[in-house]
Amino acid sequence: MGYSQCFVEIKKNSFRLILMCIILYVLINFREQVEHKMKEQPPIEGKPDNKMLFVNSSQCQINSMDPFSPTAMYHMTPMPSSACPMIKLMKPQSIDGMNYLYLIASAKELWKKLGVRRLSDIFCAYKRFVRFNDFVNIYFESTLFRFSKLRNFTKVDSGNITLRVWCWMDYGRLVYHDVFIFLPFPNPQKVNNSAPVKRLSVLILGIDSISHMHYQRYFSRVRDLIEGLPHTELWGYNRVGQNSYPNLIPLLSGQSVDEVEAKSGCYGASGGTNFDRCHLLWHDFQAAGYATIFGEDSRVAGTFTYVRPGFKKRPTDFYLRSVINEIHMRSTYFARGPLEIKCSGDRVYHHVLYDFIYRLLPHMQARMYDRGFFAFFWQTMGVHDYFQYGERADWEYYRIMRALKRRKILERTLVLIVSDHGLRYGPFVDTFQGMRETSLPIMVAIYPRSLRERFPLAFANLEANAHRLVTTYDLHETLKDVVDLENLSDERILNRTLRLRNNHNVSLFLPIPEERSCFSARIPLHYCQCDGYVKIPWNVRSIQRIAKLAVANINRLLAPYPQCEQLELLNVEDAYLRKQHKLNKTIIVRLVTQPGNGHFDATVLSKNETSLQGPITRTDQYRHQSFCAREAPIEIYCYCS
């Protein structure tokens, strides 16, 4: 009997032990799953920070945001590394007006990367080219050359020239391929550094897809350098269009895309063949005798060349387009790393833009004392596709700003660090903060201290406008004022202020009207950030109806394109009511379509659900889904059959 009781007790204890182990296992497993989800899932978004307003006027209140909010921090992962494996074989150099190609690879590097012991094993050639139009270059004959121990350079044509260089060994194995710019230094002139500024030069450093918060988040080096310089940040700078083109056209022309492309407009009147008839900002500066510069880093996504024909004639004195064309067509290859990063030679493709800027610095330095210069640079590559790329861009623009400061170019130049919009694609844009940031790009104006002292009223207005609603229309008028500095005198500013109206295009040297609204500033309500947001249920009938109407609107646009699939509503992700528009309350719906899993945002009037307020915008990368319809605005909607 004692044995039986003992056996029963052992069974009971064993059962309890097994039960406890099972419970413990379930608890540990549940905890691991919860911790995993906490790590993998983005944080729940909190309410916007209402303690501070970026803009606080009678018709516009823009709530502030935290650049380092939990939502933003979740997406601030390290940028994947990239590398261009081709050897750094040579560099271009101009000496006393003559141009040379210099061998810079050491014997050790040649052996390690190419297995070369003798320079005579490497054969090279260069071909000079010039621009014919924005898509075609004209070529001269190829010239063969070799390096040797006694001669580590070769002389090429003199003057401002562009060359494509390639080298090979082993009867044709390509080991080097790149494109070079030669811009010999201008003749040195005696200048009086202490003379007052008669002409203010302009340098626009444009960086695609950088919101004001993203600038705060990633551009710490640039911000630290600028902190010691006179500058103004425009916290109410709001985009007016979907992508680069509709935001930069007002900056450069003072007109909207509709006005430029109308039959009576400068582009429409040409039959859409080129932009040569358009009067752009650099033409104002050219007419006043300034040297002009225009450079972009992308052949495909150029401001005037993305699904458009660009210019027939060269638009500015210095123009990078032919070089970018040549690299894209001949020498580019994929980097080791992120898919969208490409190389030419040993360098990242878009670093050619930085090289262009550095080679122009002596020209800027010379011109700022006599003619003055107007320079417009625009970077798209990297920053357009990767949230984290801002950190790399920060380092590059810090170096550029440091070089400008060292050469004292900042003492006679208005520098603008500006973007067109925030990041438009990716997981961060699907968040509430990401959606808001897309419409609030960065704009910082850095100016000489002497000008602020010379024109106190104009620069007091500029600083006061830091917290007003502004757009690229205003920036256009601001830069037109710079052509003649007498426009900034206190007397003229006072007279112009008396005549000032609540127009959409007001120079930032004048007081932006306090009563300005998105309507008077020509900002479509879909992009307007003047109103607060209230999250509303996405699964109610009215929201589902709005989403279906948005999809129907897309399908009407797609109807003339049989190669594109008709879309269907998959689901609605979020919906927001814009609460401060008393007369025009709006609703934003964030939806997903199929096929293609396209993510879209649509804005309608709450009283009229069929009234779209601006285009339906896409927030995910569609890449090759629309390969069969590369034209605006169909490209972002089309899912090719």
User: Is 290 buried (19+), middle (13-18) or exposed (0-12) by CB count in 10 A?
Assistant: buried
| Residue 632: band (very low, low, confident or very high) from pLDDT cuts 50, 70, 90 | confident
User: What's the pLDDT score for residue 578?
Assistant: 83
400: in domain: yes
124 CB contacts (<8 Å, ≥6 apart)? Answer: 144, 145, 146, 147, 154, 165, 166, 167, 168, 176
- What CATH number does the domain containing 178 carry? 2.60.40
What is the C-alpha separation between 574 and 586, in angstroms, rounded?
A: 14
Same domain, 558 and 424: no
Q: What angle do CA 100, 106, 109 make, to 5 degrees?
A: 125
513: in domain: no
Give the end of a domain, one of 182, 213, 245. 182
Same domain, 262 and 401: yes
Same domain, 572 and 632: yes
Task: Say what percent of the chain tops pLDDT 90.
Answer: 77
**Strand ranges (E), 311-351:** 318-319, 332-334, 342-344, 347-348
Query: How confident is the model over 333-342, as a mean pLDDT?
Result: 91
407 CB contacts (<8 Å, ≥6 apart)? Answer: 361, 364, 365
Instruction: List, in sequence order, every residue forming a beta bridge with 589; answer none if it has no partner.
Output: 575, 602
Same domain, 465 and 562: no
**pLDDT higher than threshold 80 for residue 193:** no
Same domain, 166 and 265: no
Q: Are 214 and 67 in contact (CB under 8 A)?
A: yes
Q: Under DSSP, is residue 27 helix (H, G, I), strand (E, B) or coil?
A: helix
Same domain, 305 and 431: yes
DSSP, residue by residue, 579-619? TT-SSS-EEEEEEEEETTTEEEEEEEETTEEEEE-SPPEE-
DSSP, residue by residue, 452-515? HHHSHHHHHHHHHGGGS-B-HHHHHHHHHHHTSGGGGSHHHHHHHHHT--S-S---TTSPPPTT
- What CATH number does the domain containing 556 carry? 3.10.450.10
Task: Output helix, strand, coil percentages for the chain, rounded to the nearest 5.
Answer: 35, 25, 40
| Residue 622: band (very low, low, confident or very high) from pLDDT cuts 50, 70, 90 | confident
CA distances from 60 to 149, 499, 536 (A): 69, 23, 22
541: in domain: yes
| Residue 328: band (very low, low, confident or very high) from pLDDT cuts 50, 70, 90 | very high
338: in domain: no
Same domain, 206 and 173: no
Q: Are 201 and 373 in contact (CB under 8 A)?
A: yes
Query: How confident is the model over 277-301, as a mean pLDDT?
Result: 96
159 CB contacts (<8 Å, ≥6 apart)? Answer: 99, 182, 184
Query: How confident is the model over 384-399, as a mean pLDDT?
Result: 95
159: in domain: yes
| Residue 27: band (very low, low, confident or very high) from pLDDT cuts 50, 70, 90 | low
pLDDT tens track for 592-621: 999 999 999 999 988 777 788 889 999 998
Same domain, 314 and 206: yes
User: What's the pLDDT score for residue 34?
Assistant: 38
Of the listed ranges 4-18, 97-111, 523-537, the least confidently predicted one is 4-18
H/E stretch holding 444 reads strand 443-446
Q: Are 393 and 341 in contact (CB under 8 A)?
A: no
450: in domain: yes
Q: Are 337 and 81 in contact (CB under 8 A)?
A: yes
52: in domain: no
The total number of structural domains that make up the chain: 3
**pLDDT higher than threshold 60 for residue 391:** yes
DSSP, residue by residue, 73-112? HHH-PPPPP-B--S---EEEEEETTEEEEEE---HHHHHH
Q: Are 42 and 301 in contact (CB under 8 A)?
A: no
Same domain, 310 and 420: yes
What is the C-alpha separation between 502 and 522, in angstroms, rounded?
A: 11
What is the C-alpha separation between 280 and 265, in angstroms, rounded?
A: 13
User: What's the pLDDT score for residue 14?
Assistant: 65
User: Is 573 buried (19+), middle (13-18) or exposed (0-12) by CB count in 10 A?
Assistant: middle
Residue 287 CA to its chain's centroid (Å): 29
pTM of the model: 0.90
**pLDDT higher than threshold 80 for residue 200:** yes
482 CB contacts (<8 Å, ≥6 apart)? Answer: 200, 202, 414
Query: How confident is the model over 289-317, as a mean pLDDT?
Result: 95
**pLDDT higher than threshold 80 for residue 415:** yes
Number of Cβ within 10 Å of residue 57's Cβ equals 19
Q: Are 291 and 363 in contact (CB under 8 A)?
A: yes
Task: Say what percent of the chain tops pLDDT 70.
Answer: 90
β-strands 98-103, 153-156 pairing: antiparallel
Of the listed ranges 191-205, 227-241, 341-355, 429-443, the least confidently predicted one is 191-205
Summary mean pLDDT of the chain? 90
Q: Which of the 8 DSSP states describes residue 410?
A: G
Phi-psi category of 379—alpha, beta or left, where left has phi over 0 and alpha has psi -120 to 50? beta
CA distances from 39 to 34, 46, 531 (A): 9, 18, 33
Same domain, 314 and 426: yes
What is the C-alpha separation between 404 and 401, in angstroms, rounded?
A: 5
User: What's the pLDDT score for residue 585?
Assistant: 84
Number of Cβ within 10 Å of residue 322's Cβ equals 22
Same domain, 471 and 591: no
User: What's the pLDDT score for residue 609?
Assistant: 73
Q: Are 202 and 489 in contact (CB under 8 A)?
A: no
22: in domain: no
Query: How confident is the model over 98-106, as a mean pLDDT?
Result: 95
pLDDT tens track for 416-446: 999 999 999 999 999 999 999 999 999 999 9
- What CATH number does the domain containing 442 carry? 3.40.720
What is the C-alpha separation between 179 and 162, in angstroms, rounded?
A: 7
**pLDDT higher than threshold 60 for residue 40:** no
Same domain, 377 and 232: yes
Give the end of a domain, one of 155, 182, 209. 182
What is the C-alpha separation between 380 and 300, in angstroms, rounded?
A: 10
User: What's the pLDDT score for residue 36?
Assistant: 41
What is the C-alpha separation between 347 and 335, in angstroms, rounded?
A: 9
Query: How confident is the model over 197-226, as a mean pLDDT?
Result: 96
| Residue 44: band (very low, low, confident or very high) from pLDDT cuts 50, 70, 90 | very low
Query: What 3 state SS string does 513-559 have?
Result: CCCCCCCCCCCCCCCCCCCCEEECCCCCHHHHHHHHHHHHHHHHHHC
Query: How confident is the model over 188-214, as a mean pLDDT?
Result: 83
Number of Cβ within 10 Å of residue 356's Cβ equals 21
Instruction: List, in sequence order, every residue forming a beta bridge with 445; answer none if it has no partner.
Output: 232, 416
β-strands 123-131, 161-169 pairing: antiparallel
pLDDT: is 608 or 163 the higher one?
A: 163
Domain extent, residue 617, equals 531-636
Give the end of a domain, one of 182, 213, 243. 182
**pLDDT higher than threshold 80 for residue 337:** yes
Place of tokens 């003649």: 484
User: What's the pLDDT score for residue 51?
Assistant: 57
Greatest pairwise CA separation for the chain in angstroms: 117
| Residue 46: band (very low, low, confident or very high) from pLDDT cuts 50, 70, 90 | very low
